[in-house]
Chains A and B, each alone.
Chain A
Amino acid sequence: DAKTTQPPSMDCAEGRAANLPCNHSTISGNEYVYWYRQIHSQGPQYIIHGLKNNETNEMASLIITEDRKSSTLILPHATLRDTAVYYCISRANDYKLSFGAGTTVTVRA
């Protein structure tokens, strides 16, 4: 699987959009970009995924650059309950997910 790089931490204000970057410069053409988050002492929660096109669901938007070397997860209106560790993962055909350190996001009132 392609290695992903994320900033270790970021703060954002409640009610504002949170933009979480992820670099995956070695991603191959058939690897999906997945985003999960883990709130303390819970299992990871699926957020969104994409291959080439931008995606949006009820939780977030995923913007993937045209060359697919990076992506941004957007939480449109961050709440205190969005405080978590966010993982950006590239997934190949074997379906295995390799978790890095992720980005610890702290939403402040």
Chain B
Amino acid sequence: GAVVSQHPSRVICKSGTSVKIECRSLDFQATTMFWYRQFPKQSLMLMATSNEGSKATYEQGVEKDKFLINHASLTLSTLTVTSAHPEDSSFYICSARDPTSVGETQYFGPGTRLLVL
């Protein structure tokens, strides 16, 4: 199956700093990537849709100025959590849509665990 990577796998930062998370599709080009957040014992919640070469679209209740998304190439999307606070601590997961696969399946990265102190 298609491979999606994320970096870093885990990060600890101080409150008020910004953190950048990278999502890469390793063996296919993804015009669309998605960012999710998962709190402990909860399911994944879609945050935003990242489209290559255009602005991301955010789900209701997700602050676009707080969670900056850049999709600069067909294989890379980045999520920057700006001025992070302890309540932003979560498991962030990206997915990438493979347009060449049957049904244009989404494949997920391994996730990034963010802890804000």
Name A residues whose Cβ lies closer than 8 Å to a Cβ of B: 32, 34, 36, 38, 41-46, 49, 51, 87, 91, 95-102
Contacts and interface: CB of A to CB of B under 8 A. Distances in A.
16 contacts: A41-B91, A42-B110, A42-B111, A43-B6, A43-B95, A43-B111, A44-B44, A45-B108, A46-B107, A49-B103, A87-B43, A95-B32, A96-B46, A97-B34, A98-B46, A99-B43
A95 B43 contact: no
Contact of B105 (A49, A51, A87, A96): A49
A51 B103 contact: yes
A43 B106 CA distance: 12
A41 B111 CA distance: 8
A97 B111 contact: no
B76 interface: no
A92 B46 CA distance: 15
Contacts of B75: none
B46 A95 contact: no
A99 B34 CA distance: 13
B43 A97 contact: no
A101 to B, nearest CB: 6
Interface string B30-49: 00101010000001111001
